[in-house]
């Protein structure tokens, strides 16, 4: 990638994310001096947006300040990925992300640190971003991947989730999946209880989104608790793969593939899910593209509401580079359409 295609500072979030997505599409995964130069460039872009946000905040232009900080978060997220092999710079970028989140959270959309009480009297910590809507709004329970915290997840998702009229509750995978703390469904149901009790949340429009291994937890919750109105999950594929592996281990021989049995199993899994489902394949997900396509075909045959996203990524000498910007925007666009736009259309059709 030459200097002519370098990302440039822009004054709106859509342009910044378009520039970030274009960069990820063209980045070769370089860890050389050129990669370090890219890192410095994205840090500089984030810093510039931060200075703009500070200036707009002092002028009382809260909306413009918030947008600038969301642009900064997008730039710093790119920088964080470029800094993976640079420990000191990585820590510096993470600190910048934390500072940007705090500043954004001090504006109109305050980020709250909340504690959720579980049925066994234990408590889990979470981060909550209230909706910017003027009425009761949809809410999303976002469960981090197994190698990140709720704060790390929210820092990346804020630019994709903000201004969509939805609240976000971010929780850490380890807090949900730890068997010593109880079963994940019960803990996540407590998160549903927490959101349902809030005055700013419409309890009939709560979705769940699981990253990495948490995608399987999101599937389980959608099948377990009928209050889930939409789920970004694995469609049951992880549990199915685990069941097959257990059967093979007990039998001591590989399980012979039976397409009819597999198809029937998929249909049983899908019919447990009563809400619209989005399966994200490839990239950071636990679902392969081929498995997801077969699941989507089974969904069409069963006439269930399942859609599929193949996470855009590029193979480089340094490994797979996922375009998280495009993927996150598609996920939250789907959630917005399912939980907000469809609801508004239904309301309009009734009047």
Same domain, 75 and 46: yes
Same domain, 133 and 117: yes
Residue of 139 and 297 predicted with greater confidence: 139
Same domain, 91 and 55: yes
Number of domains in the chain: 2
Same domain, 198 and 342: yes
**Rounded mean pLDDT of 266-279?**
83
Is pLDDT of 346 > 70?
no
Is pLDDT of 171 > 80?
yes
| Residue that is last in its domain, among 89, 105, 121 | 105
Same domain, 91 and 191: no
Domain encompassing residue 189: 112-350
Same domain, 200 and 299: yes
Same domain, 193 and 308: yes
What CATH number is given to the structural domain containing 193?
3.40.50.1820
Is pLDDT of 342 > 50?
yes
Out of 219-228, 282-291, 292-301, the most confident range is 219-228
| Residue that is last in its domain, among 105, 140, 163 | 105
Contact residues for 107 (Cβ-Cβ < 8 A; gap 6+): 57, 62, 65, 66, 69
Is pLDDT of 246 > 90?
no
**Rounded mean pLDDT of 165-173?**
96
- Write out pLDDT tens, residues 300-335: 877 788 899 998 887 766 667 889 999 999 999 999
**Confidence category of residue 144, pLDDT binned at 50, 70, 90:** very high
Same domain, 46 and 136: no
Is pLDDT of 137 > 80?
yes
Query: DSSP states of 52-85 as a string?
Result: HHHHHHHTT-HHHHHHHHHHHHHHHHHHHHHTTT
Phi-psi group of 104: left, alpha or beta (phi > 0 → left; psi -120 to 50 → alpha; rest → beta): alpha
Residue of 294 and 192 predicted with greater confidence: 192
pTM of the model: 0.87
Same domain, 304 and 191: yes
Q: Tell how strand 306-310 and strand 228-233 pair up.
A: unpaired
Out of 40-49, 71-80, 239-248, pick the least confident: 239-248
| Residue that is last in its domain, among 65, 87, 105 | 105
Same domain, 202 and 80: no
Query: Terminal CA-to-CA distance of the chain, rounded, Å?
Result: 54
Same domain, 143 and 269: yes
Give the pLDDT of residue 255. 55
Same domain, 234 and 179: yes
Is pLDDT of 117 > 60?
yes
C-alpha 142/C-alpha 228 separation (Å) is 13
Contact 208, 231 (CB under 8 A): yes
């Amino acid at each position: 990638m030459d200097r002519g295609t370098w990302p440039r500072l822009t004054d709106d979030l859509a342009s910044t994310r378009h520039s970030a997505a274009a960069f990820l599409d063209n980045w070769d995964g370089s860890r050389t001096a050129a990669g370090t130069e890219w890192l410095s460039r994205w840090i500089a872009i984030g810093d510039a947006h931060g200075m703009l946000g500070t200036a707009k905040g002092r002028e009382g232009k809260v909306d413009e300040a918030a947008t600038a900080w969301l642009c900064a978060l997008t730039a710093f997220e790119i920088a964080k990925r470029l800094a993976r092999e640079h420990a000191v710079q990585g820590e510096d970028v993470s600190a910048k992300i934390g500072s940007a989140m705090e500043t954004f959270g001090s504006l109109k959309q305050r980020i709250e640190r909340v504690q959720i009480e579980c049925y066994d009297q234990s408590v889990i910590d979470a981060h909550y971003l209230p909706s910017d809507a003027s009425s009761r709004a949809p809410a999303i329970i976002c469960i981090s991947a197994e190698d990140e915290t709720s704060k790390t997840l929210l820092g990346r998702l804020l630019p994709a989730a903000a201004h969509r009229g939805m609240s976000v509750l971010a929780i850490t995978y380890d807090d949900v999946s730890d068997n010593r703390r109880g079963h994940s469904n019960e803990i996540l149901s407590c998160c549903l209880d927490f959101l349902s009790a809030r005055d700013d949340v419409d309890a009939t429009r709560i979705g769940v989104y699981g990253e990495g291994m948490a995608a399987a937890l999101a599937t389980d919750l959608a099948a377990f608790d009928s209050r889930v109105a939409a789920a970004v999950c694995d469609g049951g594929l992880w549990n199915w793969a685990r069941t097959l592996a257990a059967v093979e281990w007990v039998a001591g021989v590989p399980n012979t593939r039976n397409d009819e049995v597999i198809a029937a199993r998929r249909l049983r899994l899908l019919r447990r899910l009563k809400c619209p489902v989005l399966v994200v394949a490839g990239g950071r997900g636990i679902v392969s593209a081929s498995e997801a396509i077969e699941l989507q075909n089974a969904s069409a045959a069963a006439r269930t509401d399942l859609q599929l996203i193949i996470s855009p990524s590029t193979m480089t000498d340094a490994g797979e580079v996922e375009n998280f910007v495009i993927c996150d925007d598609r996920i939250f666009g789907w959630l917005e359409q399912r939980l907000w736009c469809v609801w508004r259309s239904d309301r309009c059709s009734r009047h």
